[in-house]
Structure 1
Amino acid sequence: MGFNPCAPPEGTMSAVYLLLLLLPLISAQTYHWGPCPTPKVQPSFNLQQYLGRWYEIEKLPASFERGKCIEANYAVRRDGTIRVLNSQFYKNKTRVAEGTAVIHDMRDPAKFGVSFSYFTPYSPYWVLTTDYTSVAVVYSCTDIFRIFHIDYAWILGRSRFLPYETVSYAKELLINEGIDLFRMKATDQRGCKDN
């Protein structure tokens, strides 16, 4: 077979085909060209103080979060893994998903891996900042061959509503770390029932 100057470089077509296959999934996410940013995480992170219930205040779009009253509850299991219990009210029903989080390197405890299935790899879950009692800012990013990345960001609160200044501070932190918040939107926490 001869050289074709119009043909794309080897490997490019596979990446294009993969991108086309992933487009339906990606359309409900936030994606950008290039590799993931590497934001700084919470220094001296204390897992015990972070455990418990957090309410989602704002987020970048995620296909698995389409409802309202979204919250996450973290607890340590006997085996040392972290139980992640996410819930949301969607299509007139409370839907719950249970996952597992692990800290891969105890020297960097603010960086978790989270999985909601035995069949999926652990996704990054990085706590960029938290005061443990009112607000937390969390980021996750997955590189696809360093061609593009899919990222998620969450502003969480210990209560369903946070002051405007607190949310602005959280957004500014994300922007300063190179994270694009153009598609970030508030989560509806009105009329939610507390368990």
Structure 2
Amino acid sequence: MRTTLMIICATYLCGCLGMPESVKPLSGLELNSYLGKWYEVARLDHSFESGLSQVTAEYSVRNDGGVSVLNRGSFEEKKEWKEAEGKAYFVNSPSEGYLKVSFFGPFNGSYVVFELDRENYSYAFVSGPNTDYLWLLSRTPSVAPEVLEKFLQISKERGFDTNQLIYVQQQ
């Protein structure tokens, strides 16, 4: 089952480097502050995450200077957990929120941090290679209403279809 999730992630990631024209990666990212556990609060749904709740991502430094990625989520009805391990590397600079992520072999996908709570690193807005991929991540299972409103406003301004967002159940 873990292999199935990795293959699905690889299919998504195949040849998907880049970002929407309306999105600019954050500059001044401090990797050590970004590392750790994040909860997925909202997302545009995709086959590799469809039906998942309690989704988290954990980031840690790799020995080769990259970032280890561990994504986990639960299929509540099946009482089954899925996880995918990957690795990420900065595309341009370690202080720019633009990384290439791989969950399977040489295939990379974009991970673009375009908004972040710079004071506490308590939330992040993340895009993929185009406006079909969007995530709201938080250090806690939920966010304040003003953070959600900011996410919706900024994302809509950048061309994401916020009407299609999935709000992830966290327990």
Q: Same fold by TM-score, threshold 0.5 exceeded?
A: yes
Q: Which moved more, 1:69-78 or 1:58-67?
A: 58-67
**Aligned length, in residue pairs:** 150
Which residue of structure 2 aligns with residue 189 of structure 1?
Answer: 170
CA drift of 1:77 comes to 0.7
Which residue of structure 2 aligns with residue 10 of structure 1?
Answer: none
Which residue of structure 2 aligns with residue 49 of structure 1?
Answer: 33
Sequence identity percentage: 29
In 2 relative to 1, CA 183–138 (structure 1 residues): closer, same or farther, beyond 3 Å? Answer: same
* TM-score normalised per structure 2: 0.80
Greater RCO (CA < 8 Å, at least 6 residues apart): 2
Alignment of 1:125 with 2:106, yes or no, is no
Aligned partner of residue 109 in structure 1, secondary structure? coil
Output the amino acid matched with 1:140: G
Structure 2 residues without counterparts, runs of 5 or longer: 1-10, 13-18
Alignment of 1:178 with 2:159, yes or no, is yes
Which residue of structure 1 aligns with residue 65 of structure 2?
Answer: 80
CA drift of 1:163 comes to 1.4
Alignment of 1:105 with 2:89, yes or no, is no
Structure 1 residues without counterparts, runs of 5 or longer: 1-24, 27-34, 143-149, 191-195
Q: Please give the per-residue CA displacement for 1:111-130, whole angstroms capped at 9, x wherever unaligned.
A: 011110005x2111100111
How much is the aligned-residue C-alpha RMSD, in angstroms?
Answer: 2.1
* Bigger CA radius of gyration: 1
**How many angstroms apart in 1 are the aligned matches of 2:74 and 2:141?**
14
